[in-house]
Structure 1
Amino acid sequence: MTTTAQRAPRNKGFRSPLAPHGTTARAKGRPQQGISGCGCDRCAAAARRYDKWRRLRNGTGDTLTVPAAPAAEHLRALMADGAGWTQIRTALNCSTSTISNILNGTTPRVRRATADKILALELTTVLAGRRTTDATGSIRRVRALQAAGHTCKIIGDTAGVDHTVIHALVNARTAEVSRSVADRITTAYDQLATAPGSNVRAVNRAARGGWPDPTWWEDWGGIDDPDAPESEPAGATPRYLAVAEDAEWLERQGYTRTQAAERLGVTRDGVQKAISRARKRQQREAA
């Protein structure tokens, strides 16, 4: 039996086998390695077929290669949102050097097929697992903003997150998101939750899905808790009702609304909104 020590050392000049005759690869050779192309009849015919096909594609505008800039921009956006090199490489079935060359501009043009594959990548398929978090809070936030009348485009633009990610969250097509995406959505939620939107279609969609709006989550809490209910628990008192009742009781004791708010640990505007909502609820129940 031959041991490792007995094996002959690998030839440093070793090269992988050449492509068979009758192929474009054999016709072109390997100029970088000093291997000339083959000029036999079969290889020459293969080269002519390829050139004819390439000219036809170029003549119809369906070129074999396209500018790499759009693909590079999409890759950078994916990586900024938490996509990993390994996940991207696996999804594209290409080498790391190919991705690197596209990103750093070494390759100004890429094959159309490669560019199409890159542009078709969605963040949810290439997220780096070690940088992800549960998507429950993000899903509930984008749905709540829809209930408030905000479109996916507005939410995405405010968060600085690609619209495809927002759509995936609205439709609950992903169980995890990158931490950076979750943070951006939380920031956008804080900005938009108190600014009512005007898109009726978004509101109707949220109504069909039974998605609570930002006010509901403010009252009940637990937006990031997967076990928290998404509908009003039976027999429970919403926070705004408790605030309204306590504030009105304090006012009957001689406190001003501002003083009542201070005692309750909320703002005067918060007390005013709570009382207004409580009265509207009473009117609905009395109707």
Structure 2
Amino acid sequence: MAIVPEEPVLIKPVGVVISDFKKCSRTFDYSKESIVCMREDLTNALIGIEYFSHLHVIYYHHRREEWLKLIEWEQAEPPITIPFAGEPACQGVYSTRSPSRPSAMGSCVVELVKREENRIYVKGLDALDGTPVLDIKIYIPHYDAFPLAETPLNWCKANDLITTSRHFHWNTINVGLTLGLRTGAKALQEIGICRGEAVVAEVAGGHFFAQGIEGATGCSVLQGNMVFEEKNTSPGQWKLKLIGRESDVEIRLNDQIYSEASEVLNIGEDVLFAYVQKKPRSM
């Protein structure tokens, strides 16, 4: 078994970031320029770097505590699992680009605009003003670019990327889809109808949750028999009201985060649902 060293590794910064990005935020404008100001004694180490279009910048999250306050984290140690945006699931920090890394290391591929002596002007560096730079490295497309690299579908969607993965990352992302399938199936059971027999479904929750309900009940926004209210919140505010010809049922979910889809499939209804109420329809 490999033994992970426990002694700290001391690294002397090679530079510092000068940027208009001065406060912690949940968003960042990657079109903005900033400067990597290198130590003067390393000026000659930069000779020839201006002939490259992009660089890797490795830095230290020296203001990580501010980010932890931004996300209202109150425990002593930074979180190693992060809630998935818009889904009732969590990811390990190493499957995110979150600052909540145990090493507090950050990295970014940036566009090199120009170099003036020991000052490197770059575009797209997501580091705060004053961030210590630990290293820079030339970006070579032949070795560093992988056009067919895959990312989970919803990760792309959450970050407004132009392309999406060919893979549907079931275990993590589709907790919401699985919740929708179970909620829709429970609603059909409660009012004693089959798929396609409901008059309308009123849904509040995430997109995958609505998609799961569509799969179970046959109700759809496209068909005009689903009313959908998007809620990018935890499941405590997600609900389904399924209306049949003789009765309807309203189901609300418990406020819970799940590790993967299989967990949703295996838990009891008392854990899954906070509220299930059937009513006869008024004629």
Same fold (TM over 0.5): no
Structure with more of its chain in strand, by fraction: 2
Q: TM-score, normalised by structure 1?
A: 0.25
Structure with more of its chain in helix, by fraction: 1
When Rg is computed on C-alpha atoms for both structures, the one with the higher figure is: 1
